[in-house]
Every structure is written in structure tokens, then in C-alpha cells.
Amino acid sequence: MTEPTVPASEVPQPTAQRCGLIAIVGRPNVGKSTLLNALVGQKVSITSDKAQTTRHRITGVRTVDEAQFVFVDTPGFQTKHNAALNRTLNRTVHGVLADVDLVLFVVEAGRFGLDDAKVLGLLPEDKPVVLIANKLDAVHRRAELAPWLKGMQERRNFAEFVPLSAKKEADVTRLFKILKPYLPEQGWFYAEDALTDRSEKFLASEIIREKLFRLTGDELPYTSTVIIDKWEEEGELRRISASIVVERDAHKGMIIGQGGERLKRIGSESRQELEHLMDGRVFLELWVKVRSGWADTEEHLRSYGYE
């Protein structure tokens, strides 16, 4: 006796994989890096109150069920300075936008200024753009958002409008569901457990730079960078030597601090975070070097890893 056959149309089919590149763009300090870290579920991009903190194209990856989201955090569009560093950062943003399937345009909920408008004007017309109204927790009267949203919708035909707080897990989970249909049906670009395409060495330099900005406040101009000079691995121990590069001797003194206390604190906080990130011991040595005009020369920028 033969088994009854099930029609092919009734056999459950495996769900097709989806994968796409998603750019996160906006003016400096709207919370792009905080949003990226929340979406990935781990810190891959540094955050600070200082504008122009993010300087590189940083990819964060998150796989949810059959969909792989490849997020690209970008430098905030630079509209106020014309140094070589700023031109390089803007080229990075334009390069990202040419490649992606979807754009997340991040603004502060209820706010839209001239710098936001400049960024919006640079977004490609042929890509779907999702308006992310971030920092919703800072809005005290939600009713005030309705006229603001109406004004935003008149500026561009956004594919979606998502008010959220990047610090709330439920908001981040909701965002994945909204973005999923915009991903093309295609195979994943990365392994299922991948979090970023950046190396540990790159993440180490970024974490040191974050501590540098956080502990110097507004004293230090943003034209400072961190270079990894030495990276050695001995089992679970990493020996790292890094240089903080500044433009003037006065900046060097700001970083070192009285009796070297500030530099020690930058090193201590960086080491603790690196040990947590890399799940092992870290020996970190920091130096401060003066390289006058490094942010104004394309050659220096390339040698320091700027694209």
C-alpha cells in the first residue's frame, strides 16, 4: 500500500534568507553610534558628547531569524569646516550611500535644524529612507510631535517614520520588524554570529579615542587620533602600545594632565573596557605625540587609516 503523496504546494518551504546594507546617517550628535550599538547588541562604535566622534565607516551585523541586517555607521556630515579631515569624512558618507539598500536618517525627535536639512538634501532620491526620530525619551509632550511629523513628511516622502529611544530594547526590537521587508532576498554576507567587520586592533584604537574625548571634555580639539604601534598576543594576554596624536604641544599637556593623572585614567578606563570586550587580560601602554597639521594633509590621513 503506497503512502498518500502530499502536493508540492502544501510542503512547507524554507524561508528565503534576506540580507541588506543599511546606512545610518545624520548630523553629528543625534545618536547614530548609540543606535548602531543597540542594533548590534554590542559596542562596535564609540560614543561621546563631542561632535565628529565617528570618523570611519563602521559595519555592525545582526542576524535575526532568516534576516541579516548589515548596518553602516557613518561620520556625521561635516558642514562647518573644510579641512582635509572633514572632506575625507564626507567622502566616506557619500561612498556608503552609493552602496546601500536602505537609509536610516536619524534626527532628534521634535527637532530639525539647518544641519539636519543639509544632510537630508544630500540623501539619494532612489533609495528608501526611514526617518528615525531618536531620543524620544527626552520629549516631554508627545502631542507636540504630530505637527513636527507633518512638517517632516512635507520635506520628503519617507518610507517609514519610527519614533524611538535607542536605549530601549523594545524600541530596537520593533525597528528590526519594520526594516526587515526592505532587505533584498539573498544570501547572508557574514556568518550568523558575526557582529562587525572591524578588527580587534581597530576597535582598540576607537575605544582609546572614546576615553580620550570623554575625559578631556571640550578642552581638546577633535583633531586628535589614536594609532596602534604594537600588538602582541601571548595566549589570552594582549600587549598593546598606542600613540595619541595631537596637533600642538598644548594639547599634549591637556591629555597628560597634572602629574600624568589624566593619561593614566585614559589608559586605565581603556584597558578595563578592552579586557571586557576581548575577554582576556590587556597590558596597555599609551604615548602622546605631536604631529602639527596632521588633519590638514591627505597623506597623513591615509597613513593614519582614513579612507
pLDDT 10s digits, 56-115: 466 788 999 999 999 987 655 544 444 554 555 556 566 678 788 999 999 999 999 998
What was the pLDDT predicted at 6? 54
What was the pLDDT predicted at 5? 56
Pick 200-303's CATH classification: 3.30.70.3270, 3.40.640.10, 3.30.300.20, 3.40.630.30.
3.30.300.20
Q: Which of 71-75, 114-118, 241-245 has the lowest mean pLDDT?
A: 71-75
What was the pLDDT predicted at 185? 95
What was the pLDDT predicted at 306? 43
Residue 304 banded pLDDT, cuts 50, 70, 90: very low
Fold assignment, 18-182: Rossmann fold (3.40.50)
Which of residues 50 and 144 earns the better pLDDT score? 144
Please check the confidence at residue 136 and state whether its pLDDT lies above 50.
yes
Domain locations in the chain as residue ranges: 18-182, 200-303
Which 3-state string (H, E, C) describes the chain?
CCCCCCCHHHCCCCCCCEEEEEEEECCCCCCHHHHHHHHHCCCCCCCCCCCCCCCCCEEEEEEECCEEEEEEECCCCCCCCCCHHHHHHHHHHHHHHHHCCEEEEEEECCCCCHHHHHHHHHCCCCCCEEEEEECHHHCCCHHHHHHHHHHHHHHCCCCEEEECCCCCHHHHHHHHHHHHHHCCECCCCCCCCCCECCCHHHHHHHHHHHHHHHHHCCCCCCCCEEEEEEEEEECCEEEEEEEEEECCHHHHHHHHCHHHHHHHHHHHHHHHHHHHHHCCEEEEEEEEEECCCHHHCHHHHHHCCCC
Q: In the predicted model, what is the mean pLDDT of residues 245-258?
A: 85
